[in-house]
Structure 1
């Protein structure tokens, strides 16, 4: 039975032409800005062996950051001499079986790489590479397969039992006997007998990479390989532990990125101290960071995994020091504020006051830590950061220790979150005392900000990250925390003198649809900065610009649906920074789609504030299924008619706490403008007709 149903007939115009601003990029995902080289995770959730596959089809191991192949010490590749790479894809966004396509003359080569483990059944952990050679020509062809083993460790070949050993860690098994193995500068090349293929004939070779001394290191046949391939695909198709389905959008590529983002977050997870730990990536960022982790955990709540988010928050709180602070990175004072925000956000999304009270001593200690930081600076009244926090590490492209604002922004956000939490659970006296601390810190901030305002070359009045900033720092550098202060921090509105200027600085720096030079690469693109920027603009009322940024963000992913942290614009070099898949990016993509469709604005719930116009097309369906909000789970669907003339919205409002308003936004996607208020009460049914402009009729 439908409850709380609201049906809205929307007259939709100019569908074929689209409803985009003239200066925006098309809302189409074609990966036009994909990195020049990428890697893709194939491991199972909670695996200790985080295997990734490179763009060329190499299986990559032993990441040290110094290895000869993109930082890896060990690589395994198969193929034939002279073949040319043609492409790479996933079997599906939910199935991380990586298929690499190559060709030599009329021989088509398909390489499927995948992982096997105990989550699939009684299989020890191993990776499989199945290579399919097929003659697509009209005359006979000969192929001579090989496998290349590259490693900084010693590689030994055992011809009698069709194996090779890589150091003391890996056993490499083959499904057929090889002729010989030769040492080259590129590694050990294991060569197999040439095979003559008539037109249409094919040949299969499989390679198994297993950790030594497990049961998978014994005999290996092609039947084994194909059986394991089927088991792997079955596992991922039925992966009940991965929370797909809470968000459905009509753009298949955006949906693919959503699903893949969820999967990548779970693939990077590991069990530590009996808790699942959601890590940022499989290699250089294989670990937990407070800032990254807070946003990953929020994303998990949005896809219906509050229990997993609770485990993650528990792990985060275990990182608290005796003085109440969180400092996984030295002098990264913002981590304490981020933790306070994460606690409040989780408590609100779950509606769990009991849990919040259970961790309250940790909240109190964290607030005391921020107060102690402020006290240190108040002892230096002439310091540029007096009344704020000590000099610290900015991150986000700015190294060293300076008096700066990123730590200030997040300390203010943390105090605000603690105050909100205290009021929510009835601790009025504590909230009032903390409010005085917040107000005094904000007063000190505004005084410092007024002092530090400066103009860029275009005359935009902006606030740099470093206080008394040196002239060599680009205005946009490190501004991620300013965007966080706008949203989710909600510290500033557009009326603040520097907010418009900081946003203008970022607009002026855009390349390929994203602000450039905002991170560690001086002219590079910090891909998921797109989400920080889009969220701030969404909060400030620029919903359609935020929707455009979703597409710019998407187009910087690889065709296998994941992101590197930073990369250079096209034709500007190949330098990269950070991990891949990078799961703060995964989380930000989930967060942005959610907030474009559903956004809490104080006591109000807003719908379609940043709805992409491209999604409104004949037959399109947008659906949210019990997506967590501060007010409780919300469900809705928007279905566009087959002729594209109208759409029907069905809404089940949250019930745990009634919003003061539910506001439907129409700008940019419906053919109408403004907003409509919807009922927040149960068992409500309403039909709203929205006329299209005369100019579109």
Structure 2
């Protein structure tokens, strides 16, 4: 199939613009393509033109949004704003002394970095972009999403502030442009190359009396202050020539010192490449600031009264209210922690991830991303819901698990491939891809949430029939002839869709375990039945893994690893990362539930993964040709749980430094850099970006969406369990204190204390503690500020060998490493050497 005409034209216009150095706000992702593009679309797109138009390779951006609202907005590396389901992006620029300065392009004499980006205060969902051209001024853009009016419509508030950057200041013009090239691309395709949405900007009209722009049939920016001049540009005659767009452009006009055309309307029936520019004069010669506010109506704005809500109050009122909401939510509700200065950024990252999950929730349904993943998956949303609940956002988790999970529970009598539909948890994604891990993940999430809520909430009892019981019976009754789960494609990171995968079995075991425990807690009649289903799948899974390990040995394989599954793709591939689920999130290693021999095999699998597939972070060559940020965090979590903190720390350092705050040079050898990400992850981290373009894969890589909700949840769970985690929940109730707190956190001038407060636990009771380190005297003091009844506290000392310990003044055994403090302990003192 040939490329669409608009895709062909987009390709030609962008390429010629770049090759001929024509003034245009070329976004980071397009510059990255033109810097080094493999030119292969890996079969996902009909042509290279379609691949370019969809931005398949550099899906990096930031996000602004409102908790529980449907539509998010993306923010590009130079501050370009794209309401996700609209057809345009908004960007700013400046003109000083007649010279056009675009933040997307470097300029001689500009400071390095001339362009910077960060979240406000390091974690608030306000994207701050700062641009300093060589013109004696700087521009700060603050982009946030908020609600306005009595209908609580969602809108993006964009605040632009021009300041002098050197004594004397300057005069000039601040510009705002509306362009068809967005952070997410020009057209939208799905993750498997299916066409989702045409997004050409084919019509623009400036309603001067209302101070707003119409874009196609939707709304564009609304200006709080009328511009001094403006111009709209298109291709009214449908000229079939890429050079037309290079010549008829507001940026070409302004760069040549000419005025904008003043047109109030533009059309482009050929390629949908309309653009517009608006100018405001500024004078900051006296040291003062110039501020411009504009709004992007993201929600369903219909009439003049809706648009009037945007300017009914000063913009500063909305900005202050937005900041107050997020500070209350992130700083004064749910789990709170104080970390030493050397790692304080980790707590900023935690709050940033928490905000992302709240924004990605659509009326309680947590979505894994804002664009092609803007829909519901059982797998992602189960993990995200538990992360939210442990953070203190029980209302969101309750809506997810108590409503949206139940809405996709199948009650029909048909078939889903080889399996029965009745009792299956799954919507479109799970049914179409035959994701057989879904029931295990849903039951696991029900069980975890029931524990967190405590017996008084009776969540487990509320969902037991038919959801828990019939969901467990579905796992029991829909298995292969070998007793393990059916072949399917539960997650693309575990391998081929026509193979069975142990990932499904591990999750199903975790789900059956939690289902049986729920039955026990509520006194259901089916306890024995559910344990029998668990034991049956356990036996089949263990037998299959033992058979595979024997085959490996017979083949002369000297390294031990549990492969993705027992089928044809069971070789030493990066898909063995699926085995990490044995440790986290399923916790099947508690009590070595599959047997001591297989417990050892899974632990050795971690060594094999580390030896073959870790280079900074986890490299997934088999399926993605990219790093896996959330898989890297799962691996780090597994090392935390087995006490290998050095590897945990190395992976954590990479996932923060390289992936969450990725930077690349603007061009080879440049001192100035793009801030590609600002504290968030996409599903896959591209090798070129991870290596500053020193590594280009031999084939096209896969990208996914960002911010990736599952990755955000994984970081929240990881940091939380570095600070404390529960163990032995159903036999010997234990709680590990500071198991991932490294010695360097507590030494030197970086600070000597860690605090946790109001942290939800799977024991149904909040927990809090303060840990203080007296480095001079080699003493640790732990104060339990919020006690959990009936648990033994365990402190694994990482600072040295414990010489003696006391709980509330009474000596307790010190075995050199872990210090066990009896239930009810309020203060512990531990000495080490």
Matched-pair contact (CA < 8 Å) for 1:176–1:205: no
Matched-pair contact (CA < 8 Å) for 1:116–1:228: yes
Q: Quote how far apart the aligned CAs of 1:121 are.
A: 7.1
Residue 165 of structure 1: aligned partner = 214
Q: Quote how far apart the aligned CAs of 1:369 are.
A: 0.8
SS at match of 2:84: strand
Residue 667 of structure 1: aligned partner = 798
SS at match of 1:126: strand
Residue 564 of structure 1: aligned partner = 682
Structure 1 residue 612 corresponds to structure 2 residue 742: yes
C-alpha change, 1:455 and 1:159, in structure 2 (3 Å) is farther
C-alpha change, 1:202 and 1:222, in structure 2 (3 Å) is farther
Q: Quote how far apart the aligned CAs of 1:557 are.
A: 0.7
CA–CA separation in structure 2 for the residues paired with 1:576 and 1:255: 30
CA–CA separation in structure 2 for the residues paired with 1:456 and 1:77: 59
Match runs of 1:37-436 below 5 Å = 38-63=60-85, 73-80=87-94, 81-84=100-103, 85-105=114-134, 106-118=136-148, 124-138=153-167, 141-151=170-180, 152-153=200-201, 154-174=203-223, 175-183=225-233, 185=245, 187-192=274-279, 194-198=281-285, 200-210=287-297, 212-213=301-302, 215-218=305-308, 224-239=314-329, 243-250=333-340, 251-271=343-363, 276-314=364-402, 315-322=404-411, 323-328=422-427, 329=430, 330-352=433-455, 354-361=458-465, 362-374=467-479, 377-378=480-481, 386-397=482-493, 398-427=495-524, 428-436=527-535
Matched-pair contact (CA < 8 Å) for 1:145–1:193: yes
Q: Quote how far apart the aligned CAs of 1:117 are.
A: 0.5
CA–CA separation in structure 2 for the residues paired with 1:295 and 1:599: 16
Matched-pair contact (CA < 8 Å) for 1:357–1:425: yes
CA–CA separation in structure 2 for the residues paired with 1:366 and 1:645: 53
CA–CA separation in structure 1 for the residues paired with 2:511 and 2:125: 38
Q: Quote how far apart the aligned CAs of 1:166 are.
A: 1.0
Q: Quote how far apart the aligned CAs of 1:248 are.
A: 3.0
C-alpha change, 1:219 and 1:610, in structure 2 (3 Å) is closer
CA–CA separation in structure 2 for the residues paired with 1:360 and 1:550: 38
Matched-pair contact (CA < 8 Å) for 1:140–1:197: yes
Match runs of 1:677-692 below 5 Å = 677-681=820-824, 684-692=825-833
Alpha-carbon deviations, 1:95-147, whole Å to 9, x = none? 322211112221211112122304x9776432222222223234563422222
Matched-pair contact (CA < 8 Å) for 1:113–1:128: yes
Matched-pair contact (CA < 8 Å) for 2:574–2:613: no
Any gaps of 5 or more consecutive residues in structure 1?
Answer: 1-34, 64-71, 379-385, 693-697
Q: Quote how far apart the aligned CAs of 1:452 are.
A: 5.1
Matched-pair contact (CA < 8 Å) for 1:136–1:200: no
Matched-pair contact (CA < 8 Å) for 2:778–2:831: no
Q: Quote how far apart the aligned CAs of 1:506 are.
A: 1.4
Whichever structure has more helix as a proportion of its residues is: 2
Alpha-carbon deviations, 1:525-570, whole Å to 9, x = none? 1101122112222232323432443333222213632211111232
Matched-pair contact (CA < 8 Å) for 2:779–2:830: no
Q: Quote how far apart the aligned CAs of 1:371 are.
A: 1.7
Alpha-carbon deviations, 1:205-250, whole Å to 9, x = none? 3322225425352497798334433343344334489845433322
Matched-pair contact (CA < 8 Å) for 2:441–2:511: yes
CA–CA separation in structure 2 for the residues paired with 1:162 and 1:628: 49
CA RMSD, 1 decimal: 3.3
CA–CA separation in structure 2 for the residues paired with 1:257 and 1:411: 31
Alpha-carbon deviations, 1:546-598, whole Å to 9, x = none? 24433332222136322111112323359662222212111111111121222
SS at match of 1:286: coil
Matched-pair contact (CA < 8 Å) for 1:79–1:131: no
C-alpha change, 1:391 and 1:642, in structure 2 (3 Å) is closer
Q: Once structures 1 and 2 are overlaid, which stretch shifts more, 228-237 or 162-171?
A: 228-237
Which gives a bigger RCO, structure 1 or 2 (Cα 8 Å, sep 6+)? Answer: 1
Q: Once structures 1 and 2 are overlaid, which stretch shifts more, 296-305 or 347-356?
A: 347-356
CA–CA separation in structure 2 for the residues paired with 1:490 and 1:210: 45
Match of 1:622 among 754, 760, 774: 754
Alpha-carbon deviations, 1:19-61, whole Å to 9, x = none? xxxxxxxxxxxxxxxx987422222112233122112101112
CA–CA separation in structure 2 for the residues paired with 1:144 and 1:356: 62
Q: Quote how far apart the aligned CAs of 1:333 are.
A: 0.5
CA–CA separation in structure 2 for the residues paired with 1:99 and 1:334: 40
Matched-pair contact (CA < 8 Å) for 1:300–1:308: yes
Q: Once structures 1 and 2 are overlaid, which stretch shifts more, 502-511 or 289-298?
A: 502-511
Residue 14 of structure 1: aligned partner = none
C-alpha change, 1:667 and 1:139, in structure 2 (3 Å) is closer
Q: Quote how far apart the aligned CAs of 1:172 are.
A: 2.1
C-alpha change, 1:435 and 1:114, in structure 2 (3 Å) is closer
Structure 1 residue 676 corresponds to structure 2 residue 819: yes
CA–CA separation in structure 1 for the residues paired with 2:179 and 2:679: 27
Matched-pair contact (CA < 8 Å) for 1:544–1:611: no
